Structure 1
């Protein structure tokens, strides 16, 4: 298994998704953030809701997750934002090398 993770969060609109993505990349907490549109169906406070959202798929590293999480929570407009991290089991060596170069240096 690699030290890399993919973190997913959803935001209510394109502007807030792009602002979050830019901040995470600028701060080197993410090497890349992919933004795509989705329709979400969920239960919130006992009511089934449906809404349009923007999904952010964030490429990062496990040791950066606490700082990444804090940044998302600070900038996120939702009361309970989705912030889920999944391990990257394996990947293309060239891509993983690029990913490492674009993130904050790993602790030694």
Structure 2
């Protein structure tokens, strides 16, 4: 299998993470992302435990995690979609560059988003 590295002048792709309260919410949001070509694929991890500080208290909640594959230039549009549809007052949306990936996968991403 051949791997490709991102090169200057090419599109940059991202893996973004977003937590939601449950898988139903994740599926609704993921479908919107894919239908609007904001994500090529969204993997949903159904049950994670999040421990975090909120308004001075330590919270512990069960959530679902969306792993979103997208292009860097679509992140602002993805955030806008989440601003409109995400149930949390403050939602997580963080991303990392895809530095290397299977050549065919990168091509698929480029063709999809």
Task: Give the TM-score of the pair, scaled to structure 1.
Answer: 0.92
Structure 2 residue aligned with 1:106: none
Higher Cα radius of gyration: 2
Q: Secondary structure at the match of 2:101?
A: coil
Structure 2 residue aligned with 1:38: 48
Q: Does 1:94 align with 2:85?
A: no
Structure 2 residue aligned with 1:23: 32
CA distance in 1, matches of 2:43, 2:83: 18
Question: How many pairs does the alignment contain?
Answer: 103
CA RMSD of aligned residues (A): 0.9
Q: Secondary structure at the match of 1:64?
A: helix
1:1-108 equivalences under 5 Å are 2=6, 3-36=12-45, 37-103=47-113
CA distance in 2, matches of 1:94, 1:24: 22
CA distance in 2, matches of 1:11, 1:41: 14
CA distance in 1, matches of 2:105, 2:93: 24
* Structure 2 gap ranges (5+): 7-11
Q: Which structure shows the bigger proportion of residues in strand conformation?
A: 2
* Structure 1 gap ranges (5+): 104-108
